[in-house]
Amino acid sequence: MDTLLSVQFLGGVASGDNLTGSAILLIIEQEKRVIRILIDAGLVQTNFKEFFEKNREILQQLKPERLDAIVLTHSHLDHIGRLPFLVRNGFGKQGRVICTEATAGLLRVMLEDSAKIQAIESSHLKAKLAKEGGQPDLHGRGRDHFTRGNYDRLKNFNKNKKRSPNGATEPLYDMNDVEIACNLVKNGGSPYHSWIRLAKGINLKFYASGHVLGGAIAVIRVETKNGDIHLGFSGDLGRRDGIILPPPEIVEEPLDYWFSESTYGGKFHPERQTEIDDLLKVVRKAADKKQKIIIPSFALERTQEIVYLLSYYMSVRKIPRMNMYLDAPMATRITKVFSQNWDLQMFSGQDIINFNPFSTEENHFLKTVNDKKSSLELLKEPGPYIVIAGSGMCDAGRVRDHLRAGLSHKQTVVCLVGYMAKNSLGRKLKEGFPIVKMNGDEIIIKAEIVNFESFSAHADSSFLVSYTENIAAPGKLKKIFLVHGEEESATYLKSELLKVLPDENKWLKNILIPKLGQEVKLL
């Protein structure tokens, strides 16, 4: 029985600036049978001008009702966020969702928040549209349009423009679609290290990726008359020195094809402890000067890492004890999931802390801000205190209130602890812009901005190289695909791989940086 294999890259490619929206379609043809498996179904995270249109474009090349399975590597929105949209457009009639148990536990939290944000944005925009009698200006925005978040995206209407025919103001999905999507997860999630049957002769195994709770490297085995073919999908790889999770596991199977993320290609994390020490210095200084520390943070994993670190060092009195406010509804829900998993002994470093750092009952330093009114009241409180708020790139969420109130004051310290996409407000702060524009107002930056490069949960360039070198060691590997990174990062990573892999001329042709929509035949 001849087997034909091909892949199509429907998002999260490394051929441009937007590394989000991960989605790789694997097509397996054996005689009259065609199996279609989508690895990840991520949201394209971009400015409001393009958000709905860019995320709908996947339907131009994908018929959701024909998918047999969607495999999710982890629960970040840029890997799961289009799942309910595909459900709304036909997925689920014959297909199912496969992910790890922890990813299944986080799935509803992440997707419900996404649906809620889309509904609010859509509702506000429609109300403004009706009041003004005009149409949204999706093109001619002011110079701060790339840094606008949920509170700022409703400015500047162009009354002469026609509404986009693709329904630019309509949410991609609603809570009902989220409910259906979550119910499609097989058995409430699957364990690591066990083969999961996708179809006759096609199986899946998960290895822990170390990136986030529940994160997985997905290995798909396809039986053919010439032997088994193994494809490995990295998802997002974690670090060898993770704060609360062990490093990525080594795939046991000899792979034929390897699909690797390249987010930090060409970038090297500083020594972890060096930057932890730098963070502790910032906290000590803020306590001495009675400053407020604002930490914009991603709701999943980064928030919990910061909570863990600061709680531990406060508990052993390496830094002054002060209130640490978690002012992010989604991050609060996710932190509760971490708290529920604490006793399962799945985290690294549990032997050095004698309380559950994610539980507000056990962790007396951690306070949660439960509503918007309390969040606004917190702005008036004098320092010292620490507030951790979303979003991580400063483009949405309650952190924007804290930044608007604090950026123009010397009593504020902003700690940037994550990746900042081009044109985001966080990127502007990181690059040292002296003035930023928020809500149409120019703000002179007087706050201290401190950048931390080592808190990323992504593997850096050296670890990506060494991990892929290990994948290639058995000598069976035929092609490497570099995805999920800016083009510059992927290109650098390719150049580094060429230095360590045998037969440079072979790999020059067989390390590929695919473009959006590109289809590649494997067999």
Please tell me whether residue 493 adopts helix, strand or coil conformation: helix
The amino acid present at 410, given as its one-letter code, is K
Predicted structure pTM score: 0.85
Q: Are 135 and 157 in contact (CB under 8 A)?
A: yes
Whether residue 167 is predicted with pLDDT greater than 70 in this model: the reply is no
Q: Is the pLDDT of residue 221 over 90?
A: yes
Residue 8: is its pLDDT beyond 80?
A: yes
The 10s digit of each residue's pLDDT in 322-364 is 999 999 999 999 999 999 888 877 787 788 899 999 999 999 9
pLDDT number for residue 48: 64
Write the CA distances from 4 to 27, 43, 52, 223, 403, integer angstroms: 8, 29, 34, 11, 53
* Rounded CA separation 201/98 (Å): 17
- Nearest alpha carbon to residue 235 among 256, 223, 251: 251
Domain boundaries, the chain: 3-266+458-521, 272-451
**How far is Cα 97 from Cα 41, in angstroms, rounded to an integer?**
11
The upper half-sphere exposure of residue 493, i.e. CA atoms within 13 Å in the direction of its Cβ, equals 36
How does residue 390 score in pLDDT terms, banded at 50, 70 and 90? confident
The correct answer on CATH 3.40.50.2300 for the domain covering 3-266+458-521 is no
Q: Answer yes or no: are the C-beta atoms of 97 and 186 closer than 8 Å.
A: yes
Tell me if 172 sits within 8 A of 80, measured CB to CB.
Answer: no
Tens-digit pLDDT profile for residues 102-128: 999 999 999 998 998 888 777 766 776
Give the pLDDT confidence score for residue 128 in this predicted structure. 66
pLDDT computed for residue 21 by the predictor: 93
Where do the H-state alpha helices sit in 75-138? 77-80, 83-88, 101-132
DSSP tag of 521: E
For residue 162, pLDDT over 70 is answered with: no
Q: What is the DSSP string of 359-419?
A: -TTT-TTEEE--SHHHHHHHTTS-SSEEEEES-TTSSSSTHHHHHHHHTT-TTEEEEE-S-
Report the candidate in 266, 497, 492, 293 with the shortest Cα–Cα distance to residue 378. Answer: 293
Fold adopted by 272-451: Rossmann fold (3.40.50)
Is the bond into 391 cis (omega within 30 degrees of 0)? yes
Provide the pLDDT for residue 93: 86
Residue 16 confidence class, pLDDT cut points 50, 70, 90: confident
The pLDDT, as a whole number, for residue 142 is: 35
Measured over the CA atoms of residue 213, residue 217, residue 218 and residue 221, the dihedral's sign is: negative
Q: What is the mean pLDDT of the chain?
A: 89
Lowest-confidence region among 362-376, 414-428, 439-453: 414-428
Cβ distance 23 to 82 under 8 Å?
A: yes
Given a cut of 50, whether residue 429 has pLDDT beyond it is yes
Task: Quote the pLDDT of residue 161.
Answer: 33
